[in-house]
């Protein structure tokens, strides 16, 4: 029950941190237009590289390391301060690098300065600590007020295209204040520590080991927008970004298990419970598959109605992008279960690194010709293909450690249920008019059809859900 509770907390948290841009996107699409949205997407993609290099893998490493030592208050205190100060120093170095970049660049100065606040905010991000001690409630509750204030601020202050810089600043400040509000909750877990007791160096190498896969991951998450903005136009980057926002929102629900299970599996692995770690993988893989299939098929089915309703007709170019990108929901769900919930907590960092590196290299190699030929559509195809490489490699790595048949035991049932759901929803989509009421109806009918099919097919996840409710 603790894992389920933490999953629900983290799922809510992941959705909530995306909720502000999601709720404001229809409004901002109308106010800022494709150009404003594109400039934000492009400049944000650039600042993400500095945040990445400043963070040096702490989000993953800190989560895992805290999970290893959380039984000892003294070790917990020592590890927290060492990791926190290490990241603070590296963010400082990254800020100096950004200053050099800022002086050399010739455009978007105001927007880059507003984005820079996000880099400062990263220095005070300690969410990895609370994830390591499996306290997900605090990250949800502490950020709730900040996000609501952000939401109100956007609707109050953002009125025209000229307010783009202010919009970016509001989002950046929300990250900073949200991170700062977590610090008071630390007193429950850690005590005081003298500076001479710190040994920051011992965390540097293992953190860098996890930093390498994060570099690769960031490449095929952000480089598409950077390349589109440089090679095509900021509008193309904006179309890509709008599709990506919706996919990321859906993925937040699916991949929330990754953050929850990493410390859980790491703790079991540290205690020598090898069979338990494999059982966690089987259960988690089945769960994310059951959730990912209907989201994958459902998004494809309703994209033609959803995009003009949500983004306006000025963003109709997003429809084919979203249809193509929907497949990564399933691919990332699988790679998240294998990579973050099994490879990382069982200290198979090299295999995880290789998988995302292959994905990044694939993306870079095919991105240029595909973008030149098909623009944003080409970038999206490259994204999907890179995810295929990541998931495929991870499955190949673990093939002798686990039972692949057991891993995919109910996948056929999820696929069949998802396909039937898609057919039903798509027929409705063709026959009915375009309106929010019809769209909501299609989603509800799709959920009913999918759930009903899982019951008919006797999927194991339904039996587990019934057993959990009875408990």
- Of 64 and 434, the structure prediction assigns the larger pLDDT to 434
Report for 26-40, 181-195, 417-431: range of highest mean pLDDT:
417-431
Angle at 385 (CA atoms; ends 417, 418), nearest 5 degrees = 5
Residue 212 has pLDDT above 80, yes or no: no
What confidence tier does 117 reach under pLDDT thresholds 50, 70, 90? very high
Angle at 364 (CA atoms; ends 362, 370), nearest 5 degrees = 95
Q: Report how far residue 164's alpha carbon sits from residue 31's, in angstroms, rounded to the nearest whole number.
A: 9
Instruction: Give a yes or no: residue 335 inside a domain.
Output: yes
Print burial letters for 108-147: b (CB count within 10 Å at least 16), e (below 16): beebbebbbbbbbbbbbbbbbbbbbbbebbbbbebbeebb
Provide the greatest CA pair distance for the chain. 71
121 contacts: CB under 8 Å, gap ≥ 6: 172, 175, 176, 178, 179
pLDDT, residue 204, reads 67
Residue 273 has pLDDT above 70, yes or no: no
Instruction: Give a yes or no: residue 455 inside a domain.
Output: no
Nearest by Cα to 460 from 394, 407, 391, 403: 407
334 contacts: CB under 8 Å, gap ≥ 6: 285, 288, 289, 292, 391, 394, 395
Q: Report how far residue 28's alpha carbon sits from residue 242's, in angstroms, rounded to the nearest whole number.
A: 11
Q: Are 87 and 55 in contact (CB under 8 A)?
A: yes
% residues pLDDT > 70 (the chain): 81
pLDDT digits (tens, 9 = 90+) for 157-184: 988 888 999 999 998 998 888 888 888 8
Instruction: Give a yes or no: residue 170 inside a domain.
Output: yes
Q: Rounded to the nearest 10 degrees, what angle do helices 376-397 and 201-231 cross at?
A: 150
Q: Report how far residue 433's alpha carbon sits from residue 441's, in angstroms, rounded to the nearest whole number.
A: 12
In three-state secondary structure terms, 231 is helix
Q: Report how far residue 51's alpha carbon sits from residue 242's, in angstroms, rounded to the nearest whole number.
A: 21
pLDDT digits (tens, 9 = 90+) for 105-116: 888 899 999 999
Q: Are 328 and 387 in contact (CB under 8 A)?
A: yes
What confidence tier does 119 reach under pLDDT thresholds 50, 70, 90? very high
Q: Report how far residue 124's alpha carbon sits from residue 133's, in angstroms, rounded to the nearest whole number.
A: 18
Q: Please state which of the ranges 135-149, 377-391, 408-422 shows the lowest mean pLDDT.
A: 135-149
19 contacts: CB under 8 Å, gap ≥ 6: 147, 151
Total-model pTM: 0.71
Residue 358 has pLDDT above 70, yes or no: yes
Both tokens of residue 423?
């057919």
Q: Which domain holds residue 249?
A: 2-409
Quote the number of domains for the chain: 1
What burial class does residue 392 get, using C-beta atoms within 10 Å of its C-beta: 0-12 exposed, 13-18 middle, 19+ buried?
middle
Secondary structure letter of residue 424 according to DSSP? H
In three-state secondary structure terms, 245 is helix
Instruction: Give a yes or no: residue 396 inside a domain.
Output: yes
- Total residue length of the chain: 471
Residue 19 has pLDDT above 80, yes or no: no
DSSP H helices, 161-312, are: 164-180, 201-231, 234-270, 274-311
Nearest by Cα to 300 from 366, 246, 252: 246
Q: Are 209 and 349 in contact (CB under 8 A)?
A: yes
Instruction: Give a yes or no: residue 425 inside a domain.
Output: no
Angle at 321 (CA atoms; ends 319, 323), nearest 5 degrees = 70
Nearest by Cα to 168 from 34, 311, 51, 28: 28
Q: Are 42 and 226 in contact (CB under 8 A)?
A: yes
Q: Report how far residue 330's alpha carbon sits from residue 411's, in angstroms, rounded to the nearest whole number.
A: 11
Report for 142-151, 266-275, 420-429: range of highest mean pLDDT:
420-429
Report for 156-160, 250-254, 415-419: range of highest mean pLDDT:
415-419
Instruction: Give a yes or no: residue 70 inside a domain.
Output: yes
Q: Report how far residue 387's alpha carbon sits from residue 325's, in angstroms, rounded to the nearest whole number.
A: 10
Q: Report how far residue 234's alpha carbon sits from residue 35's, in angstroms, rounded to the nearest whole number.
A: 6
């Amino acid at each position: 029950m603790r894992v389920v509770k933490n999953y629900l907390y983290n799922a809510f948290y992941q959705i909530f941190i995306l909720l502000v841009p999601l709720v404001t996107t229809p409004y901002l699409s109308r106010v800022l237009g494709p150009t404003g949205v594109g400039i934000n997407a492009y400049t944000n993609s650039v600042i993400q590289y500095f945040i990445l290099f400043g963070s040096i893998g702490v989000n993953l490493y800190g989560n895992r390391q805290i999970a290893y030592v959380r039984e000892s208050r003294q070790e917990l205190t020592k590890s927290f301060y060492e990791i926190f100060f290490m990241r603070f120093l590296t963010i400082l170095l990254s800020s100096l690098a950004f200053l050099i970049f800022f002086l050399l660049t010739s455009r978007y100065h105001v927007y880059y300065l507003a984005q820079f606040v996000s880099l400062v905010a990263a220095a005070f991000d300690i969410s990895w600590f609370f994830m390591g001690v499996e306290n997900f409630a605090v990250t949800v509750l502490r950020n709730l007020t900040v996000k609501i204030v952000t939401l109100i601020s956007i609707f109050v202050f953002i009125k025209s295209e000229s307010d783009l810089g202010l919009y970016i600043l509001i989002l950046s400040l929300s990250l900073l204040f949200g991170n700062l509000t977590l610090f008071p909750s630390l007193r429950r877990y850690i005590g005081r520590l003298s500076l001479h007791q710190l040994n920051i160096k011992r965390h540097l190498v293992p953190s860098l080991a996890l930093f390498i896969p994060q570099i690769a991951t960031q490449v095929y998450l952000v480089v598409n927008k950077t390349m589109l903005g440089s090679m095509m136009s900021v509008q193309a980057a904006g179309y890509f970004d709008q599709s990506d926002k919706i996919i990321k929102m859906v993925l937040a629900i699916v991949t929330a298990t990754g953050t929850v299970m990493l410390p859980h599996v790491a703790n079991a692995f540290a205690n020598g419970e090898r069979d338990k770690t494999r059982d966690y993988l089987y259960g988690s893989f089945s769960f994310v598959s059951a959730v990912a299939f209907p989201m994958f098929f459902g998004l494809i089915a309703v994209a033609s109605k959803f995009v003009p309703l949500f983004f306006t007709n000025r963003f109709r170019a997003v429809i084919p992008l979203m249809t193509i990108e929907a497949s990564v929901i399933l691919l990332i769900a699988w790679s998240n279960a294998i990579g973050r919930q099994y490879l990382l907590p069982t200290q198979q960092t090299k295999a995880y690194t290789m998988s995302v590196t292959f994905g990044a290299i694939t993306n870079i190699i095919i991105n240029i010709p595909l973008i030149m030929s098909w623009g944003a559509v080409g970038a999206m195809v490259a994204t999907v293909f890179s995810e295929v490489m990541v998931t495929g490699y991870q499955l190949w790595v673990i093939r002798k450690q686990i039972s692949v048949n057991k891993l995919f035991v109910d996948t056929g049932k999820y696929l069949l249920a998802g396909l039937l759901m898609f057919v039903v929803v798509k027929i409705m989509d063709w026959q009915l008019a375009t309106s929010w009421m019809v769209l909501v109806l299609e989603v509800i009918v799709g959920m009913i059809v999918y759930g009903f099919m899982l019951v008919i097919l006797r999927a194991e996840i339904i039996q587990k859900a019934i057993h959990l409710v009875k408990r």
